[in-house]
Amino acid sequence: MRIKIVGTGRAVPAQCVTSSSLDERLGLGPGRLEAVTGVVERFVCTTESQVDLACAAARLALAEAGIEPSAVDLVIGGCGVPYQPLPSTAPLVMQRLGLADGSAAAFDVNSTCLGFLTAFETAARLIEAGQCETALVFSSEIASRALPWQEQPEVAALFGDGAAAAVLRKAAPGEGEVAAALMRTYPSAYESCGIGAGGTRFDFHLQPEEFSRNSLFRMDGKELFRVTSRHFNGFVGELLRRAGWQPQEVDVVVPHQASPFALAHMARQTGFGRERLVDIAAHYGNQIAASIPFALDVARKQDRVRPGARVLFLGTSAGVSFGGMALVA
């Protein structure tokens, strides 16, 4: 697929919360949360909404691309947690950006932490098919909600809020391409990570206690580590094989920012040196689906994604899925 990223942008809320302040608030020993999570600080919404963050990131991406919002004819939201169950988040972002009724298609996709990659691939295929010309893809998360601070503070302290967006257009020959995209799912670990309430699984009226009890995020880190350790290397090898790349030909790896320790483990497991990984987890936390495009924008602003660079996106998500994309910038 001949696809080019013509602009990216990112946004965080105003308030930054350090792990040391959380230690004090929760009555933990000094340095406790940073030691067990590797996260030094993260940004947390107070007055900002998820849509506010999405629009802020989108406007920056459009400005970098030199494109007016009216030029966009496809808006795809790839958020792990939506603004509300119905309708989807993308139409509201389309409206807030000032796009006229009927001027674009707008919808969401959801593959939790891999939402941006799924949205990116969906947009790329529609552009390649001639169904649209300019796509805005965004992921925006308020990950600080519904966290298990009392039961699992070491899990809750991993997360931070943020949003990022990208503008995609068809590339001229030699200007950029998606060399390969791949996802593989291991549903045997479905229960190891998630939020049970909020959909149809628990009835708010008939099962109020179950609904309440399952409204917080839960994660079984040991089970996720087991699945990842067993299968992730083979997944990465298959993605590279489909792209026709050798590991040493990858210029930069843009991974999901699960945690600083998870990124260190990924580097050891895959053999990609830490110098090739975009690692921002210690200062932003796990931003769910926003973490991959957020890291991409950081890398682009640091001039690490130059024209012709071979970029490898990699991530894991609840479900449990592995996802990746090989992109020639």
DSSP 164-201: EEEEEEEPPTTS-EEEEEEEEE-GGGGGGEE--SSSSS
Look at residues 59, 65, 120 and name the one whose alpha carbon lies nearest to residue 94: 59
Mapped onto helix, strand or coil, the DSSP state of residue 40 is coil
Dump pLDDT digits (tens) for 35-51.
999 999 999 999 999 99
What pLDDT, on the 0 to 100 scale, is given for residue 183? Answer: 98
Strand, helix or coil for residue 261: helix
- Is 66 strand, coil or helix? coil
Query: Could you give the residue numbers annotated as active site?
Result: 113, 256, 286
User: What's the CA gap between 278 and 295, in Å, rounded?
Assistant: 6
Q: For residues 92 and 73, give the distance between their C-alpha atoms in angstroms, rounded to a whole number.
A: 15
Q: What's the pLDDT score for residue 174?
A: 85
Q: Are 43 and 13 in contact (CB under 8 A)?
A: yes
Residue 59's pLDDT is 98
CATH 3.40.47.10 segments of the chain: 3-170, 177-328
pLDDT digits (tens, 9 = 90+) for 163-191: 999 999 999 988 999 999 999 999 999 99
Over residues 63-70, the mean pLDDT reads: 97
With 90 as the cut, is the pLDDT of residue 289 above it?
A: yes
Number of C-beta neighbours around residue 321 at 10 A = 20
Among 269, 191, 182, which residue's Cα sits nearest to residue 230? 269
* 95 alpha-carbon distance from chain centroid: 23
**What is the residue type of 118?**
T
Confidence band, pLDDT 50/70/90 cuts, at residue 94: very high
Which CATH code fits 177-328? 3.40.47.10
User: What is the C-alpha to C-alpha distance for residues 276 and 270, in angstroms, rounded to an integer?
Assistant: 12
Paired with 184 in beta bridges are 322
For residue 42 the two structure tokens come to 């993260």
Per-residue model confidence as pLDDT tens digits over 266-287: 999 999 999 999 999 999 999 9
Average pLDDT over residues 199-227: 95
The CATH architecture of the domain made up of 3-170 is 3-Layer(aba) Sandwich (3.40)
18 has a pLDDT exceeding 90 = yes
Residue 312 reports pLDDT greater than 90? yes
Stretch 75-102: mean pLDDT: 98
Mean pLDDT computed over every residue of the chain: 97
Q: What is the pLDDT of residues 131-161, one digit of tens each?
A: 999 999 999 999 999 999 999 999 999 999 9
Confidence (pLDDT) at 266: 92
C-alpha 39/C-alpha 41 separation (Å) is 6
Q: What angle do CA 283, 285, 291 make, to 5 degrees?
A: 105
| 3-state SS, residue 86 | coil
Residues in the chain: 329
Number of Cβ within 10 Å of residue 4's Cβ equals 21
- Is a pLDDT exceeding 90 seen at residue 73? yes
pLDDT at 95: 98
Count CB atoms within 10 A of the CB of residue 98.
Answer: 12
Are the CB atoms for 9 and 161 separated by under 8 Å?
no
The confidence score (pLDDT) of residue 254 equals 98
Q: What is the pLDDT of residue 131?
A: 97
Of 79, 73, 64, 81, nearest in space to 97 by CA: 73
Rounded to an integer, what distance in angstroms lies between the CA atom of residue 79 and that of residue 164?
10
